[in-house]
């Protein structure tokens, strides 16, 4: 198995899941700043030009954070990345989708690349302000979901690694996390899997 990743990108969540699973895997760094995601060597693997991408042992490629996380959890049940209870499974998917599709793509997306969301450079401040609003509202909702719990659905799951990657990003964008998210981030940073991932990506 091989994970294509970029240091500090949303792929840190999948990288953490691979460390939780503990089976051998390879990694290949994709230099997003240099545009490696658009070069043929990479688009031959993932034509969407995004990380994370997982190359599986049968040679097939899986993309999209929730799909990769779900597949890793189901194929490695001993790692307990997805609860058995169907209602809790639905909650894990609900939270993961909200993190990826809304907080990341709609919120952080506007902060990372405002030019993708507005017709001219003059719109950039307004685009970024809207991005910040979406992110802050997202963290407020996640804070409620985490109230009284160590992990988002009461036990560790792949929803936590999704929440973790945006919590990790909040530091870079000067976003103050509400208290339950701040505590969740610290809890995640204390996990050996996260520490190994940070070390491997040169982020420790
Ligand atoms: N919907 C994708 C989003 C992945 C994504 O946006 N990845 C970013 C890094 S966090 C990326 O590869 N960006 C490169 C680019 O847009 O050029 C997923 O769920 O995996």
Tens digit of each residue's pLDDT (9 = 90 or more) over 50-72: 999 999 999 999 999 999 999 99
74-to-82, 121, 152, 157, 179 alpha-carbon distances in Å: 8, 44, 19, 12, 32
Over residues 69-88, the mean pLDDT reads 98
The residues pairing with 63 across neighbouring beta strands, listed in sequence order, are: 53
The 10s digit of each residue's pLDDT in 143-194 is 999 999 999 999 999 999 999 999 999 999 999 999 999 999 999 999 999 9
Residue 130 and residue 109 share a domain:
yes
Residue 90 and residue 172 share a domain:
yes
Do residues 90 and 153 make contact, with C-beta atoms less than 8 angstroms apart? Answer: no
Percent of the chain with pLDDT over 70: 100
Residue 93 and residue 168 share a domain:
yes
Q: What is the mean pLDDT of the chain?
A: 97
Instruction: Pick from 10, 45, 113 the residue to mutate for probing ligand 1's pocket: most ligand atoms within 8 Å of its CB.
Output: 10
Residue 186 and residue 110 share a domain:
yes
The residues pairing with 61 across neighbouring beta strands, listed in sequence order, are: 55
Residue 163 and residue 182 share a domain:
yes
**187: its two tokens:** 């809890």
Residue 168 and residue 96 share a domain:
yes
Range of the domain at 46: 2-80+195-200
CA 148 to ligand 1 centroid distance, Å: 32
Residue 11 CA: nearest ligand 1 atom is 10
Rg (CA), the chain: 17
Residue 90 and residue 167 share a domain:
yes
Report the candidate in 204, 201, 151 with the shortest Cα–Cα distance to residue 4.
Answer: 201
Q: Is the pLDDT of residue 89 over 90?
A: yes
CATH number at residue 12: 3.40.30.10
Q: Is the pLDDT of residue 119 over 90?
A: no
Residue 201's pLDDT is 98
Residue 55's pLDDT is 98
Residue 91 and residue 159 share a domain:
yes
Residue 49 and residue 14 share a domain:
yes
Report the candidate in 73, 57, 67 with the shortest Cα–Cα distance to residue 18.
Answer: 73
Q: How many domains does the chain have?
A: 2
- Distance CA(21)–CA(133), nearest Å, equals 35
* Kind plus residue range of the DSSP H or E element containing 71: helix 65-75
CA 30 to ligand 1 centroid distance, Å: 11
117-to-33, 86, 120, 127, 131 alpha-carbon distances in Å: 19, 37, 9, 7, 10
CATH number at residue 114: 1.20.1050.10
Residue nearest to atom 1 of ligand 1 (CA): 64
CA 37 to ligand 1 centroid distance, Å: 10
Residue 16's pLDDT is 99
- Distance CA(86)–CA(95), nearest Å, equals 14
Tell me which of 121 and 83 has the higher pLDDT: 83
User: How many of the other CB atoms lie within 10 Å of CB of 167?
Assistant: 22
Residue 96 and residue 32 share a domain:
no
User: How many of the other CB atoms lie within 10 Å of CB of 26?
Assistant: 9
Residue 35 CA: nearest ligand 1 atom is 17
Pocket of ligand 1 (CB under 6 A): 9-10, 32, 37, 49-52, 64-65, 100
Residue 118's pLDDT is 84
Residue 102 and residue 74 share a domain:
no
Residue 176's pLDDT is 97
- Distance CA(5)–CA(50), nearest Å, equals 9
Instruction: Pick from 50, 93, 98 the residue to mutate for probing ligand 1's pocket: most ligand atoms within 8 Å of its CB.
Output: 50
Confidence of residue 45 (pLDDT cuts 50, 70, 90): very high
Residue nearest to atom 6 of ligand 1 (CA): 50
Do residues 71 and 145 make contact, with C-beta atoms less than 8 angstroms apart? Answer: no
Residue 123 and residue 58 share a domain:
no
The 10s digit of each residue's pLDDT in 26-40 is 999 999 999 999 999
């Amino acid at each position: 198995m091989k994970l294509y990743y970029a240091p500090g990108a949303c792929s840190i969540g999948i990288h953490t899941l691979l460390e939780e699973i503990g089976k051998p895997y390879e990694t290949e760094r994709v230099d997003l700043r240099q545009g490696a995601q658009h070069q043929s060597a990479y688009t031959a693997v993932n034509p969407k030009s995004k990380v994370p991408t997982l190359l599986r042992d049968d040679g097939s490629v899986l993309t999209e954070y929730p799909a990769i996380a779900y597949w890793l959890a189901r194929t490695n049940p001993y790692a307990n990345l997805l609860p058995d209870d169907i209602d809790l499974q639905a909650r894990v998917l609900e939270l993961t989708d909200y993190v990826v599709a809304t907080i990341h793509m709609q919120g952080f997306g506007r902060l990372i690349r405002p030019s993708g969301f507005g017709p001219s450079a003059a719109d950039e401040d307004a685009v970024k302000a809207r991005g910040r609003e979406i992110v802050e509202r997202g963290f407020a909702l996640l804070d409620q979901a985490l109230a009284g719990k160590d992990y988002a659905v009461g036990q560790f799951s792949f929803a936590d690694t999704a929440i973790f990657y945006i919590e990790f990003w909040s530091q870079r964008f000067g976003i103050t996390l509400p208290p339950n998210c701040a505590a969740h981030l610290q809890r995640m940073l204390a996990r050996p899997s996260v520490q190994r991932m940070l070390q491997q990506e040169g982020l420790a």
